[in-house]
């Protein structure tokens, strides 16, 4: 989607949904849902549409981890980094996942097949370490689970 088309999308949404400050999060969600991520070049258009400063929009965009500023891979693997999962071997799982998936934490593999991201607590602390694979929770991540995940994202 080009910049002009994205601006039309934003302005159309604002006409339908309103332009108050409270519309920033819903607008960011809409842009991400429609485009897949929120490109930095859209920040001025979003700020203008809601009568906010670029700093306001940038601050919100960078505060929340679920907003993407670059396209994600075809598969998204999120590994829990909360204390409980870390106490259950999360750091070793993360290192093994990065090796098996061929991508560092916080990155998308060059072929665009998989993105590996941290997530901070999935609410499954008693059965960690945990992950979200394309939005599906997976508990008790171990070597066998990593093999299944690697096979799933390779498909």
Binding-site residue ranges for [2Fe-2S] cluster: 80, 85, 121, 125
Three-state secondary structure string covering the chain: CCHHHHHHHHHHHHHHHCCCHHHHHHHHHHHHHHHCCCCHHHHHHHHHHHCCCHHHHHHHHHHCCCCCCCCCCCEEEEEECCHHHHHCCHHHHHHHHHHHHCCCCCEECCCCCEEEEEECCCCCHHHCCCEEECCEEECCCCHHHHHHHHHHHHC
Binding residues: 80, 85, 121, 125
């Amino acid at each position: 989607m080009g910049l002009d088309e994205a601006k039309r999308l934003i302005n159309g949404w604002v006409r339908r949904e309103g332009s108050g400050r409270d519309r920033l999060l819903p607008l960011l969600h809409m842009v991400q849902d429609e485009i897949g991520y929120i490109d930095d070049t859209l920040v001025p258009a979003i700020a203008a549409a809601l009568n906010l400063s670029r700093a306001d929009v940038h601050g919100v965009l960078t505060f929340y981890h679920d907003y993407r500023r670059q396209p994600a891979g075809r598969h998204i693997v999120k590994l829990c980094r909360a204390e409980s999962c870390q106490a259950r071997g999360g750091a070793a799982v993360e290192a093994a996942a990065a090796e098996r998936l061929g991508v560092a934490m916080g990155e998308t593999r060059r072929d665009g097949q998989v993105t590996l991201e941290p997530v901070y607590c999935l609410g499954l602390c008693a059965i960690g370490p945990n992950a979200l694979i394309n939005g599906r929770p997976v508990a008790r991540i171990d070597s066998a689970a990593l093999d299944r995940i690697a096979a799933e994202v390779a498909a």
